[in-house]
Amino acid sequence: MGKVVMYASVSVDGFIADENDQPGPLFDWLLGGDVPLDDGGVVKVSQASYDYVRPYWDQIGVTVAGRHVFDITDGWDGKPPSGIDHVVVVTHRPAPEGWDPNAPFHFVDGVEAAVAKAQELAGDRIVEVAAGDVGGQALAAGLVDEVRMDVVPVVFGSGKRYFGSVEGQHLLEDAETMIQGSRVLHLRYPVRR
């Protein structure tokens, strides 16, 4: 089975969005470079960020996200983001009315069941768990192998926390990767077992 990785861009004070779910400048690094990261050439990053992010993106098979993220993105119009094969949505509600049943989205009740479904779908590829409440739940349940953060030089002061409402202490190993991009610091921490 592939690794389970918790991931997001984050402010230096630990927030992935403001109180209104707006990322503000957290994604500016994805538009401020000269190397296309996506097929459409919309996302352009520095060469250092490309060399770090592109191989990671290519390994992701499934993303696990919460229903709130699904709703605010309008379900990515039924197409998983960044070329990912499947999205597993953690929710207590069914798919939205009129949702295409053939879209590669799976609506699962509970984070443990969602990660299990994602691992089944991903095989030996990476399962990416969106940071925030769902990511914090997965970390607290011992389901996360690695924490990846793209730290952006901004202070939000308040908002949606990277680790959601996780309680208790969770130790990470020393950073295995620290890459300086343009307006971003890429960090990768294995979770201590």
Structural fold of domain 4-190: Dihydrofolate Reductase, subunit A (3.40.430)
Residues of the chain with pLDDT under 50: none
Q: What is the DSSP letter of 22?
A: -
Residue-level pLDDT at 81: 85
Specify which residues 66 forms β-bridges with.
Answer: 90
pLDDT digits (tens, 9 = 90+) for 51-63: 999 999 999 999 9
Residue-level pLDDT at 39: 84
Q: Which two tokens stand for residue 38?
A: 């996506």
Q: Which two tokens stand for residue 182?
A: 């343009």
Residue-level pLDDT at 85: 92
Q: Is 140 exposed, middle or buried (0-12, 13-18, 19+ CB in 10 A)?
A: middle
Residue 22 to residues 19, 67, 115, 139: CA-CA distances in angstroms?
Answer: 7, 16, 26, 24
Given a contact cutoff of 8 angstroms between Cβ atoms, the answer to whether 145 and 2 are in contact is no
Residue-level pLDDT at 83: 77
Residue-level pLDDT at 82: 77
Residue spans of the domains in the chain: they are 4-190
pTM over 0.85: yes
- Rounded to whole angstroms, the Cα distance separating 63 from 25 reads 23
